[in-house]
Structure 1
Amino acid sequence: MRLNRQFIRTQLIAQNILSKNAPAKRENATENPAAVLEKAYSRLKSQSSTGGINQFNYSKTSVSGNSGTFSKVYQSANDRTVTDTGEETVIQSQNPYESESDIRIKILDEKYSRMNAINKTKSDPLGYIKDKYQNSKSPYFRSDLSAAERQAAYDNETEWLFKGKAQNYNLQDAVFRNVTFHGEVEAENEKVYQRGQVNQQLQVLLNRNHIHIPEGTELTFTITPIDYQVRVSGTDDQDLIKQIEQVLQSGDNSKELFLHIMKSQSSDSAQFSEEAYKKYQAAREMYEVTGYHLKDLEVIDGRYVTPEGRDLMDVYKEELEKDPVQKQTASYAISYYRSELSKIAEAGYNAIPDFILSIDYSNGSLRDVGQSKSYGTGDTGWLEALKRQTGVNY
């Protein structure tokens, strides 16, 4: 059996401690072997790196007070500075991000890979796990853990034992004692992070093109769907407006900014209309797959028809079926968009408002409009209030 290298070192330390204590044991009561191993493991951990996830100590004496450490791990994982790579499209609506959930899984993977290595050295690994978490009379019993934490440890260790690696975790683990998580806060944290990245990317784009926006200038960027044309307002400097519009419309920058605005919308956004959004979805899908824009096509008998006289949905189906992967689900897409196009044709394309999105810009940051939540620099006091309200402490 190949043992975990760190576990082997732990066992050697434990043996040394036992050897040094041998004379005392003959004269005094013997020390609990589990306690000796625990001391050795704690000593080994104290000697290891204190950076990142390794700051989490899994010994009996260090399962509390982890909120500060988790915060450091989270901040470190998402500390990314945007640099100019020279690519035409700089703005990205979705940037690499490690969520709180991602980090929790990493922490638990590290913890239980080690615990699993220890458990598998026992003649009866399952019995050993049960002793630790279910048998209060066992010398290995983890009385220092709460009932919920023991259940979590039992669930997680047996997952590793039976499956080789956990596919599901019980998150009431002791390693997260005193750390409070909340789903809404996690979602909002990611939006704040994405805004920070897009702010940096926009600045890279401006710097590359030697565009300086004076401090205190309050601009609004308005983007139309499908063609993603940008209109800048808020200043009388027409040269500045022209420069910004030109650089934002290079590559896919305006499209990515449009998608970023869309992903940053809150539930009370005045910019969001379900009818306009569905029109945008259908028009974008047709344009990206077939190359035809709905607004340019004629409607005959309730169907959009190409200049060549073909039913647009026939062209759409033909294009989807060229791709072996898309062909498998083409029937679902065709059914859905046929229905959506029928609704648009019946109402009239221009009768349904376009999904036009705007965002403000000032002092180096994009700032949301028409909603209660803004993710711009210095605009997130509402998120701190939400954290206090929900008890989130990292």
Structure 2
Amino acid sequence: MRLNRQFIRTQLMAQNILNRNAATKRENTSENTAAVLEKAYSRLEARSSNEGINQFNYSKTSVAGNGGTFSKVYQSTNDRTVTDTGEETVIQSKNPYESESDIRIKILDEKYSRMNAINKTKSDPLGYIKDKYQNSKSPYFRSDLSAAERQAAYDNETEWLFKGKAQNYNLQDAAFRNVTFNGEVEAENAKVYQRSQVNQQLQVLLNRNHIHIPQGTELTFTITPIDYKVQVSGTDDQALIEQIEQVLQSGDNSKELFLHIMKSQSSDSTQFSEEAYKKYQAAREMYEVTGYHLKDLEVIDGRYVTPDGRDLLDVYKEELEKNPLQKQTASYAISHYRSELGKIAEAGYDTIPDFILSINYSNGSLRDMGQSKGYGTGDTGWLETLKHQTGVNY
């Protein structure tokens, strides 16, 4: 609301100045409007320089692009503390998160919505944009920007001008001057964030049930697919094991933890087997849609058959077609799973290993096993090395 009120005051200030000069300069109203708004927006940006995304200054004389500023915005945006809402399922494998790319889009949306407002007050908006970024002889030329930054500004401002809002951005924008981004680092940061949230959620679950795991105790949680049954090991305290297993198997907590482990796997994970994963995907889909578990069904002529003699895929099709949205893609799903079920039936369900996943737990954090990358508390030194190697500086 503060920004909105400032925006309104800025507009009124600009209008008052224009009104005082209207009698003598009516023919140049649009040019004056742009000039006044441009100055007013610069003052507005200066006043908002300490407020979140508005820390980025887009005035002609100062374009902030330091890694420290972006880092603060990124950290504050994703500073979320998990609280106990009372719901049975506390653990979530997918938690709200704003990536570096999401934040960059927000910054550029804010920047270019303002620039677009100024550009549209000009009698020739496109000509004005070209003057700023392509005509070195124009008084509007942005000599303070690099050639790449001018091209980015041109691309982004014309996107807004022609489409009302940018559909695609040129990210070589001056707003990110001296800030280096890397796609691999972005993906790993997301995994670290999700782990921090799941760690908090697990602690909420333990606290709610008055379960205390002593410091230094190193546990392993092993979860089987489909039924998501949890087995806890690593301690001789059988009562503690039973407590943890019971609470993890309440609601969908064990399923969500299973999915979190799966999403946290790195490329060298010894737990991942493509054959086991495909078996899990097919068995899970059939179970969640039809209620039948492949391991409980008979195979006749290479097809899984229900106890009442029906082809499992016929049951699957019927269930999909009950949903108008799923009905549209049912044929593709049936074709895919017919192939997958055929492979499992031919090989034998028990011949293909189950997609069983495990994760360690100690000192308040889940810790990855069987892979080089760890996302637990204190286990991310490798990520700092990756940032250094790729030049990421936020």
TM-score (norm 2): 0.92
Amino-acid identity (%): 88
For 1:173-212, what aligned pairs fall within 5 Å after superposition? 173-212=173-212
Deviations 1:191-244 (A, max 9, x none): 000000000000000000000000000000000000000000000000000000
Q: Is the 8 A contact 1:222 1:232 kept in 2?
A: yes
Instruction: Name the CA distance, whole Å, in 1 between partners of 2:180 and 2:200.
Output: 30
**Secondary structure at the residue paired with 1:360?**
strand
Q: Which digits, 9 at most, give the CA deviation of each residue in 1:334-385, with x for residues without a partner?
A: 0110110110010000000000000000000000000000000000000000
Residues 111-190 of structure 1 mapped to structure 2, 5 A cutoff: 111-190=111-190
Counterpart contact for 1:387–1:393, Cα < 8 Å: yes
Equivalent residue for 2:220?
A: 220
On the 8 A contact 1:10/1:41 being kept in 2, the answer is no
Does residue 8 in structure 1 map to residue 11 in structure 2?
yes
**Distance (Å, rounded) in 2 between the aligned partners of 1:35 and 1:303:** 74
Deviation, 1:9, is 5.6
> Which residue in 1 is equivalent to 2:297?
297
Q: Which runs of 5+ in 1 are unaligned?
A: 19-32
Alignment of 1:324-343 (within 5 A): 324-343=324-343
CA drift of 1:307 comes to: 0.7
1:326 CA drift (Å): 0.6
Equivalent in the alignment of 2:53: 53
Superposed displacement of residue 14, structure 1: 8.1
The aligned counterpart of 2:27 is none
Residue matched to 1:30:
none
Number of the residue aligned with 2:28: none
Q: 1:140 is matched by which residue type in structure 2? A: Y
SS in 1 for 2:280: helix
DSSP 3-state at the match of 2:231: strand
The answer to whether the Cα contact below 8 Å between 1:38 and 1:60 also exists between their aligned partners in 2 is no
- 1:71 and 2:74 aligned: no
Partner deviation per Cα, 1:287-328 (whole Å, 9 max, x = no partner):
001100000111111111111111111111111111111111
Cα 1:115–1:9 shift into 2, 3 Å: farther
Please give the alpha-carbon distance, in whole angstroms, between the structure 2 residues aligned to 1:88 and 1:36: 57
Question: Could you tell me how far apart the structure 1 residues matched to 2:110 and 2:241 are?
Answer: 52
* CA displacement 1:124-165 (0-9 Å, x = unmatched): 111111100011000000011011100110111111111111
* Alpha-carbon distance in 2 for matches of 1:14, 1:93: 55
Check conservation: 2:280, 2:354, Cα contact below 8 A.
yes
- Which residue matches 1:248? 248
2-structure distance, mates of 1:376, 1:186? 17
Amino acid at match of 1:302: G
2:133/2:142 contact within 8 Å kept: yes
What amino acid sits opposite 1:330 in the alignment? Answer: A
Moved more, 85-94 or 320-329: 320-329
Which deviates more from structure 2 when the two are superposed, residues 45-54 or residues 247-256? 45-54
Give the secondary structure class of the aligned counterpart of 1:349: coil
Task: Give the conservation status (yes or no) of the 8 Å contact 1:223–1:356.
Answer: yes
Aligned to 2:4: none
Alignment of 1:220-369 (within 5 A): 220-369=220-369
Cα distance in structure 2, aligned partners of 1:382 and 1:39: 46
Distance 1:11 1:147 in 2: 32
Structure-1 separation of matches of 2:17 and 2:111: 19
Give 3-state SS (helix, strand or coil) of 1:74's partner.
helix
Aligned equivalents of 1:38 and 1:158: distance in 2? 18
Q: In structure 2, what residue type is equivalent to 1:8?
A: Q
**Mapping for residues 22-33 of structure 1, pairs under 5 Å:** none
One-letter amino acid of the counterpart of residue 244, structure 2: I
Task: Specify the code of the residue in structure 1 equivalent to 2:238.
Answer: Q
Look up the equivalent residue of 1:301 and give its one-letter code: D
Alignment of 1:90-101 (within 5 A): 90-101=90-101
What is the CA distance between 1:62 and its match in structure 2?
1.9
How many residues are treated as equivalent by the alignment?
377
1:102 aligns with 102
Contact 1:7 1:114 in 2 (8 A): no
User: How far apart are 1:65 and its partner, in Å?
Assistant: 4.1
CA distance in 2, matches of 1:61, 1:12: 24
Structure 2: tracts of 5 or more residues without a match: 1-6, 22-32
Counterpart residue number, 2:24: none
2:260 maps to a residue whose letter is H
1:73 to 1:140, Cα distance in 2 relative to 1, 3 A: same
- TM-score, normalized by length of structure 1? 0.92
Q: 2:187, 2:9 → 1: CA distance? A: 36
Q: Which amino acid aligns with 2:285?
A: E
Q: AA paired with 2:142?
A: R
Letter in 2 for 1:271: Q
Distance 1:105 1:10, change over 3 A: farther
Q: Measure the CA separation in 2 of the matches of 1:320 and 1:35.
A: 60
Q: Is the 8 A contact 2:38 2:118 kept in 1?
A: no
Q: Is the 8 A contact 2:155 2:170 kept in 1?
A: yes
